[in-house]
Amino acid sequence: MSPAEVQQSIEYLRRHSSLTEDGQQYAQGGSSAEAYQPLNALVIDGAALSVVMGDPECRALMLEIAPLFKSVICCRASPLQKAEVVKLIKDGLDLVTLAIGDGANDVSMIQTADIGVAISGEEGLQAAMASDYTVGRFHFLQNLLLVHGLFDYLRMSEMILSFFYKNVIWAMVPFWYSIYCAFSANVFYDLSYIQLYNVVFTVAPVVILGCVDKPFNYKTAMTYVAVYSDGIHNRYFRWWRYYLYVIDGIYQSMVIFFTFYIFTYQSDMQNENGRTWGRSDISTGPTVAVVIAASLCVGFNAWQWNWLMIVAIILSIVVCIAYISISSAVRYYSLEGVATSVMSTIVFWFGVPISVVVALLPRYCVRCWQKMNMPRDLDIIREIKVLHRPWYGQVFVDPDSPPEFLDKDDKHAKLK
């Protein structure tokens, strides 16, 4: 074919492709059946592939036309050519690639891809030893991607953002305190609070969030497979979500500190024995409030409240208060008498709930508004499952019926 004929073929593929920029298929005018014109596959053998990979112009054309097809089949390719194709797509289109193989000739391809999956079979264990994941059969790949891959992406996204958030809210409270001590070297928190915050007080909820949290069950994930595109397009781990979590942590730290500052401003807080509050006493209230707010916020970020999450949140709060109470009874300890001087005042019992409610209220309101007015696909599917529309996530599709595609404007309306 001449270069002009090649360019004409590419323009034809562009016009007849039913793929949008985000990789989803929609009707392009008229009925869905008339607009649906799939481009099935591009087949290229090893001899042609060697020519394509050796010419920079052909490599560029390959990168341009390959995404227009549902699949690209490279037959009779050498192990090196397999790795070159993966590297071409990985570097040329800036995508996360997955390679799957079952023999020694697939090792180079598996190692080149971002994620390598091996099928343990009769061709040895070379591929399994070089891969990231190993499955027993090829059809287990759909479980690995559509279920475990989606769940792990959602878990890791929320867990990492929650880790940043809970450290921001903890670190910013001493910053507001430094304003009133001329940014001197005074330490706001007791040293034991600093040591135990991340390893004891707030570790359980984020661990449960990152290990067992999931938006719905296995059967629902296999039914509504379109939600897997959320991970492909990285919709839950964007840079702006990181900044929102940081801003929220700064706001909550400001609310918690200034709530106790207003309650204790120009007043000498004393217990029944006349003991005036010191640094450990003043920091105890914000410490408890931060632990409660951080634990509950992780619960807001979780997709489901199972018994493990409930136990983890309650345990975090109870352990924090129990540590303060026990340490207060130890003689010559830095927290001696803190429980009796702080927890016996109305400032503590009013300051903690007020600061926690005011701190978490904006996040709760924004989350409710988003789910009611701008629901994501996961939110809609969870509503279908909870409200039994259709019956408990079960969808019965006639295999002989033609595929139906939704217009962009009617996508959420039809799911509802």
The position carrying tokens 């006493």 is 281
The most confident of the ranges 21-30, 71-80, 195-204, 272-281 is: 195-204
Q: What is the helix (H) or strand (E) element at residue 314, kind and residue range?
A: helix 307-328
Average pLDDT score over residue span 75-103 = 88
pLDDT of the residue at 396: 43
184 φ/ψ sector (left φ>0, alpha ψ -120 to 50, else beta) = beta
Average pLDDT score over residue span 219-226 = 86
More confident residue, 161 or 401: 161
d(CA 224, CA 384): 11
Fold observed for domain 3-137: Rossmann fold (3.40.50)
d(CA 213, CA 306): 8
Strand partners, 71: 41
Reduce the DSSP state of residue 158 to 3 states and report it: helix
pLDDT of the residue at 341: 80
d(CA 66, CA 70): 9
Q: What share of the chain is helix, strand, coil (3-state, %, to 5)?
A: 65, 5, 30
pLDDT of the residue at 403: 44
pLDDT of the residue at 221: 87
Computed over every residue of the chain, the mean pLDDT equals 81
pTM of the model: 0.78
Nearest CA to 121 out of 132, 137, 108, 105 is that of: 137
Question: Does residue 340 register a pLDDT over 90?
Answer: no
Average pLDDT score over residue span 394-411 = 46
**298: pLDDT confidence band, cut at 50, 70 and 90?**
very high
pLDDT of the residue at 26: 42
Q: What is the helix (H) or strand (E) element at residue 96, kind and residue range?
A: none
Give the list of residues 6+ apart from residue 156 with CB closer than 8 angstroms, or none: 210, 237
Average pLDDT score over residue span 178-190 = 85
Question: Does residue 156 register a pLDDT over 50?
Answer: yes
Question: Does residue 309 register a pLDDT over 80?
Answer: yes
pLDDT of the residue at 256: 94
d(CA 259, CA 354): 8
Give the list of residues 6+ apart from residue 97 with CB closer than 8 angstroms, or none: 86, 89, 90, 112, 113, 114, 115
d(CA 107, CA 382): 40
pLDDT of the residue at 28: 44
Share of the chain above pLDDT 90, in %: 33
Token representation of residue 264: 């204790």
- On the 0-12 / 13-18 / 19+ scale of CB atoms within 10 A, 32 is middle
Average pLDDT score over residue span 132-158 = 90
Nearest CA to 303 out of 157, 145, 164, 166 is that of: 157
CA distances from 307 to 153, 184, 303, 319 (A): 22, 44, 13, 18
Angle at 225 between CA 223 and CA 226, to 5 degrees: 130
pLDDT of the residue at 395: 45
Write out pLDDT tens, residues 52-84.
888 888 888 888 888 877 788 888 888 898 999
Share of the chain above pLDDT 70, in %: 80
pLDDT of the residue at 330: 85
Average pLDDT score over residue span 340-365 = 89
CA distances from 143 to 117, 151, 405 (A): 13, 11, 24
pLDDT of the residue at 398: 45
Average pLDDT score over residue span 82-99 = 89
pLDDT of the residue at 389: 60
**244: pLDDT confidence band, cut at 50, 70 and 90?**
very high
Sequence ranges of the domains in the chain:
3-137, 143-393
Question: Does residue 192 register a pLDDT over 70?
Answer: yes
Question: Does residue 32 register a pLDDT over 70?
Answer: no
Q: Strands (DSSP E) along 37-176, which ranges?
A: 41-45, 71-75, 98-101, 115-119, 133-135
219 φ/ψ sector (left φ>0, alpha ψ -120 to 50, else beta) = alpha
Reduce the DSSP state of residue 19 to 3 states and report it: strand
Residue 146 in contact with residue 219, Cβ under 8 Å? no
Question: Does residue 404 register a pLDDT over 60?
Answer: no
Question: Does residue 19 register a pLDDT over 60?
Answer: no
The most confident of the ranges 15-29, 290-304, 393-407 is: 290-304
Average pLDDT score over residue span 179-184 = 84
pLDDT of the residue at 416: 43
Question: Does residue 363 register a pLDDT over 70?
Answer: yes
Average pLDDT score over residue span 31-43 = 56
**405: pLDDT confidence band, cut at 50, 70 and 90?**
very low
Question: Does residue 397 register a pLDDT over 50?
Answer: no
**338: pLDDT confidence band, cut at 50, 70 and 90?**
confident
Average pLDDT score over residue span 193-217 = 92
